[in-house]
Structure 1
Amino acid sequence: MSSTSSSSMATPSYCGKIDARRATNTSQLLSISVASSACNCHFRPFPSKTLVSCLSSTKLGLNFFDAPNGRGYLQINNGRFRIRYKSPNILERTLLAKTDANLIDDEDPVEVIKDHGSSKTDADLEKQQKSSQLSKRVVFGLGIGITAGGVVLTGGWVFSVAVAAAVFAGSREYFELVRSHGIASGMTPPPLYVSRACSVICALMPLITLYKGQIDVSVASAAFVVAMALLLQRGNPRFSQLSSTIFGLFYCGYLPSFWVKLRCRLLAPALNTGVGATWPILLGGQAHWTVGLVATLISISSIIAADTFAFVGGKAFGRIPLTSISPKKTWEGAIAGLAGCIATSVLLSKIFSWPTSNLSAIGFGLLNFFASLFGDLLESMIKRDAGVKDSGSLIPGHGGILDRVDSYIFTGALAYAFVRNLLPLYGV
């Protein structure tokens, strides 16, 4: 913990840095910074120190104490660590800092408001942080939902370009995870130029799907080119490079392209849909409401309902952990999510008159739930191995693209197979 000196006329300040040892890898330290203002007191510089926490995530309460002889000390709230220092007239100061094992870079300084002996409590800071985080999630969530709804209704090249943009951003995040400390420490990541080339290839797959209908040959050709590039690189090629790259092409490019096949390639009209009868002619009329559009809307809505019901049910009744991959998920939340997903699928099937069978609607809801759940768990496994909390920071309050679309990656392919192969006449 280091301090900075200041003149006697000005209000000095002090700041410090805490290194918290990661539970998953004791050789790595996570650094966080704390800062506060001091009232009418002087500091003398002293050497930096390190405080080590054995917990992967903990809140540290730091207290400055004055001593009669002018020799004070800095103490953590549990009293197990102390750093002594010399400084006259030190009033009690409280610094609150939070360290998270999922964060790699230094956090921004946590400002502690000090006004002649009164400071914000830990509960106040945590409440303010949660409120700010929730407001961000709500604002950006609504914006994303409204925009995505308009894109799905428009369809065609607009929908395909939107999917391609999301695929490009998601693939960049995926390869950053592959190159992160947690994963790269146990394997050799692909070269940077290969990762960037794969991101471009993944972004082209939805567009190829729109105009060609099939991308199997394109994916196989892209995999061959990438494999050759890895084998011919300088140095010693590793199998881990090939496996992580080929999986990236499959996970980030091939699977999301099925959403284009579902929305834009299933052109059979949903004739019984009452919404289509009142749809404006300028926007395509009744012919605009195809099986692909209705199936896409039901699938996406079911996934949103599953996530919402699972979150609410887990918060209210969650007791039994679902899996160690994602400790916050519970069996109670999963059951609530399953019920919400099936209910939404059945309700929308009544509104759109598709599929015509209640059994088919229930089956469609079951498929959407399990596909979204295991897509979420797969991305959680990747992030856990990478040692990060979020795949990125592109969306304020939500993390990265992969954090928002992980539930949809497998769902598009399974929904397309269900409608195309299992429902007679596409469920019409």
Structure 2
Amino acid sequence: MSSFKSGTNRKIGFHSSVLLRLLASIVFLPCLFIITKKGGYHFLALVDIVIVIGMWEFYSMMEAKGIRPYKGIGIFCALALSWYMFFRNGMYANLFLTLALLAIMCMELTRKDGKKAVYHISTTIFGVIYVAFLASHLVMLREFPTSVNLSYSYGSLFVFLAFVVTWSGDTSAYIVGMFAGKRPLLPRVSEKKTIEGAMGGIFFSLVGAIVSRYTFASFLETWQAIAIGLIAAIVGQLGDLVESMIKRDAEIKDASATIPGHGGVLDRFDSLLFTAPLIYYFLKFVVF
């Protein structure tokens, strides 16, 4: 009887979660589509919103562990980095990261309590790299046509491709794992993620990549679409696991409750933080 109730509660919880996700997507996706199509400062502003909330979530998780990152200077460096990559399309990003690191280390000198200085410094700069540097590759994807003499409208197609292959795998891994998942994938990081869910994610990322190739991403050859699908499937799930590892270490379930049904911004964009940079470099060095 108890197992029956447990199974029933699980199904109710699943359906409620899916409904919330669906409602949030109905509101969120059209806005995302319109802003991505516009590009320019509109898309930069959207990515900056993701960066600011994501940085705040990450630093809040670190504070739950007793670490005190420099939220203000970290978020300032993150925004400045995204703008720098927007105007320079990624050029001299190493120089900016060096200056940000030096600034954060100098800020530690002003703290009265010098204990755990390395923790405070490294956590602050890691937040900039993990959230802002990786997320800024979405801006670089959108602006990529300006560096290879393509029509600016191609940039929205590059970003849409990243969205489709990443989130088709992400969503299908969740659904397949919920209904058919039996064998845990990496239980010390996340008990809910399963091998069956991971395989479902790989399959549907490939499907998403191939469908994209024959609809809006005709600039790809079939083998290139398959390669991007595999990259997104594998690396996207690694991004999901990395965020799960960070949350587990901080002993929290979700990064926040910013997006109904999805959790926080990091919960929704964790996979994309890993896939967007690799898709960008694949397009840059292989396709174009």
Counterpart of 1:236 (choices 94, 114, 117) is 114
2:135 paired with 1:260 = no
2:103 paired with 1:225 = yes
**DSSP 3-state at the match of 1:229:** helix
**1:9-88 superposed matches below 5 A:** none
Q: Percent identity?
A: 26
Give 1:141's aligned residue: 25
Give the direction of change, closer, same or farther, for the CA distance of 1:127–1:422 in structure 2 (3 Å limit): closer
User: Once the 2 structures are TM-superposed, how far is the Cα of residue 232 of structure 1 from its aligned partner?
Assistant: 3.7
Distance of 2:16 and 2:183 partners within structure 1: 29
Give the direction of change, closer, same or farther, for the CA distance of 1:138–1:288 in structure 2 (3 Å limit): same
**1:145-224 superposed matches below 5 A:** 145-180=29-64, 183-184=65-66, 189-190=67-68, 194-213=70-89, 214=91, 215-224=93-102
Give 1:109's aligned residue: none
**1:290-309 superposed matches below 5 A:** 290=154, 292-309=155-172
Q: Decide which structure has greater strand share.
A: 1
Q: Find the structure with the greater CA-based Rg.
A: 1
User: Once the 2 structures are TM-superposed, how far is the Cα of residue 327 of structure 1 from its aligned partner?
Assistant: 1.3
Give the direction of change, closer, same or farther, for the CA distance of 1:305–1:126 in structure 2 (3 Å limit): closer
Q: Output one character per residue of 1:361-389: Cα deviation in whole Å (capped at 9) or x when no partner.
A: 11111111122111111110010011110
User: Once the 2 structures are TM-superposed, how far is the Cα of residue 123 of structure 1 from its aligned partner?
Assistant: 9.1
Superposition RMSD in Å: 2.3
Distance of 1:212 and 1:236 partners within structure 2: 37
User: Once the 2 structures are TM-superposed, how far is the Cα of residue 343 of structure 1 from its aligned partner?
Assistant: 1.4
TM-score of the pair, normalised by structure 1: 0.61
Give the direction of change, closer, same or farther, for the CA distance of 1:143–1:269 in structure 2 (3 Å limit): farther
Structure 2 stretches of 5 or more lacking a match? Answer: none
User: Once the 2 structures are TM-superposed, how far is the Cα of residue 337 of structure 1 from its aligned partner?
Assistant: 0.8
**1:228-377 superposed matches below 5 A:** 228-238=106-116, 239-267=118-146, 268=148, 287-290=151-154, 292-324=155-187, 325-377=189-241
Q: Output one character per residue of 1:339-369: Cα deviation in whole Å (capped at 9) or x when no partner.
A: 1101111121122353442111111111111
Give the length in aligned residue pairs: 280
Q: Decide which structure has greater helix share.
A: 2
Distance of 1:250 and 1:384 partners within structure 2: 20
Contact 2:145/2:152 (CA < 8 Å) preserved in 1?
Answer: no
Greater relative CO (CA pairs within 8 A, separation 6+)? 2
Distance of 2:88 and 2:99 partners within structure 1: 15
Q: Which amino acid aligns with 2:134?
A: L
**DSSP 3-state at the match of 1:354:** coil
**DSSP 3-state at the match of 1:396:** coil
